[in-house]
Structure 1
Amino acid sequence: MKTALDTIAATLYAGKTLSIRPLTHTDADLLVKWLSDPDVLAYYEGRDRPHDLAMVQEHYYDRAGNITGCIVQYNEEAIGYMQFYVVEEEERQAYGYEGFAGNLYGMDQFIGETPYWNKGIGTALIAFAANYLMTSKQADKIVMDPQAWNARALRAYEKCGFVKKAYLPEHEWHEGAYRDCWLIELERQPAGGPDK
């Protein structure tokens, strides 16, 4: 079952806005564009897996489960993709959360318009999306599993409060080999902050 999402937005600096809106079928061409760009694929999906329209349809529209796909907009221009989902029992066990009774969410994202890289927008997106999941979806913890070699992404996640929980050797297939990943986690702080 998909999770309902209205467009959510935040004002950043100097009047710039960042928003997340639901993925629609009219966005398929954007996903094809982004997921056939070797620069994007180096970090997301792999350069050996450029997506055509049929692959985008299969991987982003025809899938089962509770994944909510979204388009990321910067000043109303579509610049990237993100998805979030409730972590189900099988994945909870794989990540060591089988005894955790709280709301556990996962999320993934990329900025597909490369001119927007290295401007702090990715970090703002992570913080914005995590805040949305914790306040609107009552997520108690949010997890991601970035590849261990992706130092730039890991720095952005750590700036937003994510911490490394477990090293996952040979966890994800990427460009012809299984790659090591980090399981990272952001935990909701109690009311009043971590020391209250």
Structure 2
Amino acid sequence: MSSHLKLRPLERSDLRFAHELNNNAKIMRYWFEEPYETFSELTQLYDQHVHDVRERRFVAIDGNNEMAGFVELIELDYIHRRGEFQIMIAPDKQGKGYATEATLLAANYAFSVLNLRKLYLVVDVSNLAAVHIYEKCGFIKEAELVEEYFCNGSYHNVFRMRLFQHEFFAKAMQDNIQK
């Protein structure tokens, strides 16, 4: 993995940046959420979830020590050893490989620190760039969920994609051998 990007836990001081991204319609259409959230609501959500052991939220920091986006591991289930992965990269930071790096860093944390067995995500089938990034990181399509989300006046199909711990480590080992 590259050292261009680092993940650190989300702090209260990061909420202004999060608020800006959460109210960006271009970003939120891929999260299937309305880009409408007050700063007060976001702060309340942060306070409610900051100690929730079923969630881990990180800020992605680039080589210039600037916030590039967020990654989240949510719905963490320690009995079944699985969790959902989500990512949001700021528009001015897109196209620089940060999504790939952040995805790999989050997966490594999920599998090495939390000892999860499976990560999954849902992605709009029309978001070809994201699907490509996830596949590059080792995620595999499990299913297509038809008309799963309503956003911007229409229903959207999504892929549910997954990555197993053993597959992630095998791919990491293979990538290191090829270097």
Q: Deviations over 1:137-157 (max 9, x none)?
A: 111111001111111100000
Unmatched 5+ residue regions in structure 1? 1-9, 90-100
Question: What CA deviation, in whole Å up to 9, does each residue of 1:14-51 have, x standing for no partner?
Answer: xx5311111122211111111222332333344x4233
Structure 2 unmatched runs, 5+ = 172-179
CA RMSD of aligned residues (A): 2.7
Aligned residues: 168
Measured against aligned partners, the alpha-carbon deviations of 1:38-87 in whole angstroms (never above 9, x if no partner) come to 332333344x4233213323555435772222211112211111110344
Pick the structure with more helix per residue.
Answer: 2
Q: Map 1:1-196 onto structure 2 (within 5 A).
A: 12=2, 17-46=4-33, 48-63=34-49, 66-75=54-63, 76-88=65-77, 102-112=80-90, 114-189=91-166, 193=170
Contact 1:86-1:103 at 8 Å conserved across structures: no
Distance 1:49 1:158 in 2: 27
Aligned partners of 2:77, 2:26: CA distance in 1, in Å? 31
TM-score by length of 1: 0.74
Residues 56 and 175 of structure 1, relative CA distance in 2, 3 Å threshold: farther
- Matched letter for residue 99 of structure 2: G
Q: 1:20 to 1:192 in 2, by over 3 A?
A: closer
